[in-house]
Structure 1
């Protein structure tokens, strides 16, 4: 009897414990579901807030300029990788003469830069940009007619003159259409549009171009010319922003007034180094990869694509992260990343070959791309802040000319070194990049406090309208 009673009590207790355990599990699941729901809502809300914070908050006019830039960069991407192939393989022009023709474009851009800056300050950024687009459209529309080396020299010199008008015109137009606190976002978006267009254009150009069908190159050049005219059509919907009248103490005009700005001259010298040992030296990576490390053309294209996609994906977040940061330290970090990328290429060339080397070189282009995304929202807005408005065209023209100078210097030194001993290019580029980084830190101590940091643009509040163009827009 006692045993039966004990068993009965134990059975009841067991059922009660089971009920309590089950109820606790239900409560735990409900609590977990509630917490998960709350966390999910918070995560979605945080993501939405973050994405709204990335909104560049630019005016309709700026978006139109950037749209035209994407189309135009697409056309350039279609053509530029294949110019030398067209001249040599289709028209029978030697590599040396083709290289001379490309140099003619850079020299023409450098020579025309002074006049372009004056035109911008007198006629406005939009009108100068229109002139540059017309010159470049004419150059590439006539390129199918090239038969001799001097034809290519003349047309690429014409294209270089158009480039001299294009960059200071576009930069001045963007800076005058954009409030000062949003200029980093405007120039970051410019870098995105350029890389997106070039990347897509290179893919399309590779699908069209065929040396066994010379007419395919005619399609490339006419397609590129058409993109210039599309950009022109877009610009006709935008008025010319009016420049601010200079203050009495800003009355000086001309390049002498610009060159008296020692901080700007220092920045120009640094940019020559950035371009010569950064962009132009890395333009030597494809022939180095193919001829020294045995990397296939497909992998060379992958390097280009990886770099382009990285810039398109992270440029706006990086621009947001740089708000309120010291500009010259960002440029110093860029130089150090360029140096690291060059050393990665050196290691890949020494230690590996074929596919293994290609993977290392892809990593190098990604590190190089990390440096590139620091420059876009930093350097051009710094030039805009240093420049008095009535001299802005000349400031941007000299900035464009520093790119041309670096484009001439880099291949002039790097090309012969690549032929003499390919491995010497990369440690030299790394060393000069480190020197440039120290130069950035030295310049930081000289800059006026008002331009040392990137402006903080802030997020886009709920229901807040898009900003209007900068004062003076007509």
Structure 2
């Protein structure tokens, strides 16, 4: 057990609860679009709009989650209970959805529940850890998310292949959120000990006036836009643009194996890398992550542009992507906590979470547009991303100087 970090037991309990809830999310992650198009009879466009509606309510949820988490009336624990309850209701709503309006309603509720959840759970981890522990603590919770999703996707696939009962997936998802609710209710105590001198909404004015946070938000949105490319643009690029033979790209089974290897490496590397990088400042770690992103995007370009060793270039790409992810995620959240006043951690972490919403909003259309162009433009898109990484590093250098010369929050 010496390999595992010494953290308060509530961090481990929260990580366990997150793993359970993410197993339920994994059940529905890949199978919801298939079910609502092929069995309910909605068009692919309608399903896309419905799923996208969750991002809109997620923005509202993040704002509420950050505000509630910092408030004396709600606090972290009640906000987490609220998010679990809303998410459970959303899952059961999707389980009985039979047309477009009910499908959109379920997704709006899910976005609201998920958005409310993130600032509160990140604030709990911050409250229960020292600055030296945070990288590893956030690594543990991200590890739980990844493991839960992976387990859920596998079990969901097995259930569908054995029974074909798609609606059961949403019921199980709802039950997983109720289990998470019980874990929080019985095992997680309120961790917010600070008394905020600010009114509920004035904290947002302070956060949005913090130049360090706003500069970080710019570069953080860039990073989340990069992450979206892994899920949206990269599979299509490997399938439609890369040419293993004159008329064919990678097979779906090969792409699946590459993604499985990428997720496995991310899980295995998360804790060792977090521990190793504790010797660097948060901004320095984010610069290291930027270097991995640049290398990964250059390798994506090479996968399509170089006439030989396509699989070798692709494997190297996914290795670099795994390192980019595991260096980015814990350090980004830890940096936000470092610069936030203790009484406004929820609001500051809500701003951090909104960067994800923005990245997921702008990333897919940009990548999709590039892949709809000629092969030259589609391949050159990855080199453009490499160039943007240089901009991100410059922004991080400015932020590094600001953080070093500002008084600690």
Q: Does 1:288 align with 2:243?
A: no
The separation in 2 between residues aligned to 1:232 and 1:359, in whole angstroms, is: 45
**1:443 aligned residue:** 399
Where 1:128 maps in the other structure, the secondary structure is helix
Where 1:179 maps in the other structure, the secondary structure is coil
Contact 1:133–1:229 (CA under 8 A) maintained in structure 2: yes
Contact 1:386–1:451 (CA under 8 A) maintained in structure 2: no
The separation in 2 between residues aligned to 1:98 and 1:362, in whole angstroms, is: 32
Matches within 5 A, 1:125-204: 125-204=76-155
- Pick from 241, 245, 259: which aligns with 2:195? 245
Q: Cα deviations across residues 143-181 of structure 1 (Å, max 9, x unaligned)?
A: 132332333222112111111111001011111122333
Distance 1:285 1:394, change over 3 A: same
**1:361 aligned residue:** 314
Q: What is the CA distance between 1:258 and its match in structure 2?
A: 0.9
The separation in 2 between residues aligned to 1:241 and 1:325, in whole angstroms, is: 28
Q: Cα deviations across residues 177-218 of structure 1 (Å, max 9, x unaligned)?
A: 2233322221011121111112222222222335x96x4211
Matches within 5 A, 1:55-70: 55-70=4-19
TM, length-normalised to structure 1? 0.78
Contact 1:66–1:190 (CA under 8 A) maintained in structure 2: yes
Contact 2:53–2:104 (CA under 8 A) maintained in structure 1: yes
Q: What is the CA distance between 1:339 and its match in structure 2?
A: 2.0
**1:340 aligned residue:** 295
The separation in 1 between residues aligned to 2:25 and 2:6, in whole angstroms, is: 28
The separation in 2 between residues aligned to 1:273 and 1:199, in whole angstroms, is: 26
- Pick from 82, 86, 91: which aligns with 2:40? 91
- Pick from 433, 436, 441: which aligns with 2:389? 433
TM, length-normalised to structure 2? 0.89
Q: What is the CA distance between 1:358 and its match in structure 2?
A: 4.7
Distance 1:349 1:90, change over 3 A: farther
Contact 2:88–2:175 (CA under 8 A) maintained in structure 1: yes
Matches within 5 A, 1:34-433: 52=2, 54-122=3-71, 123-210=74-161, 215-236=164-185, 237-246=187-196, 253-276=202-225, 278-283=226-231, 284-293=233-242, 294-351=249-306, 357-421=310-374, 422-433=378-389
Contact 1:341–1:364 (CA under 8 A) maintained in structure 2: yes
Number of equivalences: 395
Distance 1:273 1:140, change over 3 A: same
Distance 1:451 1:281, change over 3 A: farther
The separation in 1 between residues aligned to 2:385 and 2:270, in whole angstroms, is: 24
Q: Cα deviations across residues 113-152 of structure 1 (Å, max 9, x unaligned)?
A: 2222211111111211111111111112221323323332
Where 1:243 maps in the other structure, the secondary structure is coil
The separation in 1 between residues aligned to 2:230 and 2:339, in whole angstroms, is: 29
The separation in 1 between residues aligned to 2:105 and 2:16, in whole angstroms, is: 30
Q: Cα deviations across residues 261-311 of structure 1 (Å, max 9, x unaligned)?
A: 1001111111111011x1111112223223334322222222221121112
The separation in 2 between residues aligned to 1:99 and 1:108, in whole angstroms, is: 15
Q: What is the CA distance between 1:373 and its match in structure 2?
A: 1.1
Q: What is the CA distance between 1:251 and its match in structure 2?
A: 11
Q: What is the CA distance between 1:64 and its match in structure 2?
A: 0.4
Contact 1:385–1:451 (CA under 8 A) maintained in structure 2: no
**1:33 aligned residue:** none
Q: What is the CA distance between 1:375 and its match in structure 2?
A: 1.6
Q: What is the CA distance between 1:404 and its match in structure 2?
A: 0.4
Distance 1:286 1:182, change over 3 A: same
Name structure 1 gaps, 5 residues minimum.
1-50, 453-474
Distance 1:205 1:296, change over 3 A: farther
The separation in 1 between residues aligned to 2:371 and 2:287, in whole angstroms, is: 26
Distance 1:346 1:315, change over 3 A: same
Name structure 2 gaps, 5 residues minimum.
243-248
Contact 1:107–1:408 (CA under 8 A) maintained in structure 2: no
